[in-house]
Homo-oligomer: A and B are copies of this chain.
Amino acid sequence: MDIRALDIDDLDLVCRHREDMFRDAGRSDDVLVPMTEHFRAWVRPRLLDGSYFGYAMLEDGVPVAGIGLMLIDWPPHPAHPTQDKRGYVLNVFVEPAHRKRGLARELMRLAEAEFARRGVGYLILHATAKGRPLYQGQGWAGTTEMAKAAPR
């Protein structure tokens, strides 16, 4: 299994991983098609300037898994009183035929090492129901975040 950093040539791959991840979680095309169109335009400049980064895993040159990473501007907080950044993990995806082999766990280890290298001490993600046990097993815990979709 080869591992390499994401770059702009992975634009399609990153978009596909995000869409397939949410499709796996039960989302339907009526929301995923417009999401991917807008996500592609959003992530393209960020892949180019490196503010969206991460890794792809390849078997025989074919990508089989990926992970996205970002630094999010955040007000200094008791969990990171002297820092104004949080590390964010997103778009963790492993192709169905390659699951249960520890690839996501390995991608998460790479992610934590990269954030450590960048000096970021507080990391967040949003878990699907499927992903939650993996993260819990690696020391992640639920937060007090709440959300509300405003009436349109």
Instruction: List, in ascending order, chain B residues with CB within 8 A of A110's CB.
Output: none
How many chain copies?
2
A residues adjacent to B (C-beta < 8 A): 18, 22, 27, 31-32, 34-35, 38-39, 42-43, 72, 75-84, 87, 90, 112, 115-116, 120-129, 132, 135-136, 138-152
Instruction: List, in ascending order, chain B residues with CB within 8 A of A72's CB.
Output: 72
What is the CB-to-nearest-CB distance from A60 to chain B, in angstroms, rounded to a whole number? Answer: 30
Q: Does B38 contact A82, Cβ atoms closer than 8 Å?
A: yes
Q: Does A38 contact B76, Cβ atoms closer than 8 Å?
A: yes
Whose C-beta in chain B lies nearest to the C-beta of A108?
B148
Contact of A125 among B78, B138, B145 (CB under 8 A): B145
In the bound complex, CA of A151 to CA of B120 (Å):
10
In the bound complex, CA of A27 to CA of B151 (Å):
35
Q: Does A140 contact B144, Cβ atoms closer than 8 Å?
A: no
Q: Does B152 contact A147, Cβ atoms closer than 8 Å?
A: no
Q: Does B75 contact A43, Cβ atoms closer than 8 Å?
A: yes
